[in-house]
């Protein structure tokens, strides 16, 4: 069973469209994250939720809106897609506590054309 | 803020060579330290971790020791294989409540040639 699963894995869409990426974890973790990996492989946190509450929101354009309907799900909605949004988006989850491992999903490859 | 500096790649080695990928960090307090690996076309997998000073993390022949005095967490492997070709990320996780995110280094691409 996949611990952190995200869909879709690949997404090609036109500029200006709105799209969503869904994420679910079955590990019982309290904290979930969205990370963005750019074309140079650099990874940067976008958002973090703890028990459905937003706790980290890193200077991300407000076209990006996360939603956590329950602690096992964290979805990412992107409005008015731009070319620069092309990247790999990783969902992740972990228990609370700095010593705990953060587990990542397989990534969603978004290409905006 | 927290930051991680790791050896820039790409690194190319012959099979059975010794590997070192350097990683140093800057953080408030005493973070936990991690190495993640990303194989081509795949997601991030935890390779190893250490949660306090002098801890050694190890997995699949890879090792790294948490050195508080030098703020380092260098990754080593005694004899690399072609299957080790991947991108390796050093990361830290801070202990401030509400900010326990992972901060990553820039990644080091490793290629092993037969």
- The nearest alpha carbon in chain A to B35 belongs to A101
Residue B98 pLDDT more than 70?
no
Tell me which chain B residues have a C-beta less than 8 angstroms from the C-beta of A66. none
Half-sphere exposure of residue A83, counting CA atoms within 13 Å on the CB side?
A: 1
**Which tops the pLDDT comparison, B76 or B96?**
B76
How many of the other CB atoms lie within 10 Å of CB of B85? 16
Q: State the pLDDT confidence band at A10, using cuts at 50, 70 and 90.
A: very high
pLDDT tens for residues A29-52?
Answer: 999 999 999 999 999 999 999 988
pLDDT tens for residues A49-86?
Answer: 998 889 888 878 999 999 999 999 999 999 999 999 99
Enter the DSSP assignment of A52.
T
For residues A77 and A20, is the Cβ–Cβ distance under 8 A? yes
Q: Is A96 on the interface with B (CB under 8 A)?
A: yes
Q: For residues B67-84, give the mean pLDDT.
A: 97
């Amino acid at each position: 069973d996949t611990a952190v699963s995200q869909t879709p894995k690949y997404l090609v869409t036109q500029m200006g469209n709105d799209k969503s990426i869904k994420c679910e974890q079955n590990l019982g973790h309290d904290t979930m994250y969205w990370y963005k990996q750019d074309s140079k492989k650099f990874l940067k946190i976008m958002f973090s939720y703890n028990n459905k509450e937003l706790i980290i929101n890193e200077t991300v354009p407000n076209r990006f809106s996360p939603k956590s309907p329950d602690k096992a799900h964290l979805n990412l909605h992107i409005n008015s897609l731009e070319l620069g949004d092309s990247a790999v988006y990783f969902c992740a989850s972990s228990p609370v506590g700095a010593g705990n491992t953060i587990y990542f999903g397989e990534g969603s490859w978004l290409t905006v054309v | 803020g927290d930051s991680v500096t790791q050896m820039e790649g790409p690194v190319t080695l012959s099979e059975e060579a010794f590997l070192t990928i350097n990683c140093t960090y800057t953080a408030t307090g005493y973070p936990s330290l991690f190495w993640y690996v990303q194989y081509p076309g795949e997601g991030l997998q935890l390779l190893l971790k250490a949660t306090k000073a002098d801890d050694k993390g190890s997995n699949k022949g890879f090792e790294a020791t948490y050195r508080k005095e030098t703020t380092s967490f260098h990754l080593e492997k005694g004899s690399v294989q072609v299957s080790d070709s991947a991108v390796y990320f050093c990361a830290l996780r801070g202990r401030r409540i509400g900010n326990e995110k992972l901060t990553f280094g820039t990644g080091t691409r490793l290629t092993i040639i037969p």
